[in-house]
Amino acid sequence: MDKIFFHIDVNSAYLSWEAAYHLSHGGDIDYREIPSIVGGDPTTRHGIVLAKSIPAKAYGVQTGESLYMALNKCPDLLIIPAHFSRYIKASDAMVDLIARYTDKIQRYSIDEVFTDMSIYKKDYLKVASEISKNIKEELGFTVNIGISENKLLAKMASDFSKPDKIHTLFKDEIESKMWPLDIGDLFMVGSRTSKKLKGRGIKTIGDLANMDDEYIYTWLKKPGLQILSYARGEEFSDVHIEMDEIKSIGNSTTTPFDVTTMEDAERFILGLSEMVGFRLRRENMCAEVIRISIKNFDFMKKRRQIKLNAPIYSTTRIFEVAMELFKEIWGGDPIRKFSVSVSDLTSNEAVQLSMFEETYEKDKNFDTCVDNIRRKYGSKEVVRSTFLYSKIEPVIGGVAEDAKEYPMMKILL
């Protein structure tokens, strides 16, 4: 093996982080041990489930479903509001701890990281155990760690039995550990693709791995060949190490349902713009390039970007430009993923306003006020009215997601 990769994934991240925070501040109930969820509004009982405890899962509660449905399954469900600023701090603390072992760390999402652990080829299991133990004892939550010679297999391994487990999935283990799994368990195979594959008799990952390449291409084209190579354990990307200089800021989200209306699309784009704008202002930067990308349920991706006459950092302006771009590329097909990003960043201390930026001072004061409230009290203390009763989060995203596309992210639903 030339490489050893870890995929480190926080177990029920939002719920675990809320539980750890609650216990460290004098609480006497571990949310992970009772039927509980993070998400929605406890007062109105609207919204969706963002994370669930194992006891809640036993009632059939599912991530992404409405609070109404979850409460029908478990009327005594404890509903915990989300605190995204708290989750960013917990994620940062985990990355800082992992950095004791390696500087080759790629933040894949707010609760997942890939690491290149090739320097520990002889004792990678010992190192994985140490990391898992230290995260549990020092930070108060647990992780699953998947280990393999490529990032795909490491990620698949981390999804084996949970919580608080360490699994390997090397090339010589694929046939026994991965191929018997349901085809829907394969990375980047969503529910629609799973249904299509099963309709052709492809029920397990092994069934797909042993299919003829030409047949899959004739039927599913290039995305089909991608999942076929994943079924065979083939993936060759390296860990992308975050650079000190921020060149772009972006966030994306996979939607819990097919987005088919302009109203819902606007809410998802606004929610992403809220986080992008917040992070842009936190870095005291402004942006000249705005980009949006969307992906439909068949993996087809469309993107559009524009270079502005003057740099901006207002959430409202980012959203307005993103919506203009969205309207140019959307043909009405159901959407499953949105991404909003900004680049060509410069310091906001030297912004040269164009004659068209008449609302600059008003937007600046508004954003500053909202940012301060959200930093102190949480992201849901100030919410735009369009999100009320919409089941869509008002602020979407967390950890930086570089605008560059990496092989492991190209076709992720």
Q: Which two tokens stand for residue 15?
A: 């719920």
Does residue 6 sit in helix, strand or coil?
Answer: strand
Residue 407 has pLDDT above 90, yes or no: no
Q: For 11-46, give the DSSP string.
A: TTHHHHHHHHHHHHTT----GGGSSEEE-SBTTTTB
What sign has the CA pseudo-torsion 237, 87, 11, 395? negative
Cα–Cα distance between 113 and 107 in angstroms, integer? 5
Confidence grade of residue 378 (pLDDT, cut at 50, 70, 90): low
Catalytically active residues are 112
Question: According to CATH, where is 3.30.70.270 located in the chain?
Answer: 1-170
- Asked if residues 286 and 280 have their Cβ atoms less than 8 Å apart, the reply is yes
pLDDT of the residue at 39: 85
Q: What are 135-174's pLDDT values in tens digits?
A: 999 999 999 999 999 999 999 999 999 999 999 999 999 9
Check whether 131 has a pLDDT greater than 90: yes
Give me the chain's average pLDDT, please. Answer: 86
pLDDT tens, residue by residue, 229-257? 999 999 999 998 754 467 889 988 888 88
Domain at 248-409: CATH code: 3.30.1490.100
Residues 169, 22 contacting (CB under 8 angstroms)? no
pTM for the model: 0.65
380 has a pLDDT exceeding 70: no
Spatial contact of 98 and 239, defined as CB atoms under 8 Å apart? no
User: What is the arithmetic mean of pLDDT over 389-412?
Assistant: 50
Task: Report d(CA 113, CA 104) in Å as an integer.
Answer: 10
Region 89-108 average pLDDT:
92
Widest Cα–Cα separation across the chain = 65
> How far, in Å, CA of 116 to CA of 51, rounded?
28
Q: Which residues of 313-328 are buried (b: 16+ CB within 10 A; e: fewer)?
A: bbbbbbbebbbebbee
pLDDT at site 361: 61
Domain span(s) for CATH 1.10.150.20 in the chain: 179-231
Given a cut of 80, whether residue 347 has pLDDT beyond it is no
CATH topology of domain 179-231: DNA polymerase; domain 1 (1.10.150)
Residue 144 parent element (H or E): strand 143-148
- Higher pLDDT: 258 or 127? It is 127
Arch. (CATH architecture) of 1-170? 2-Layer Sandwich (3.30)
Where exactly does CATH 3.30.1490.100 map onto the chain? Answer: 248-409
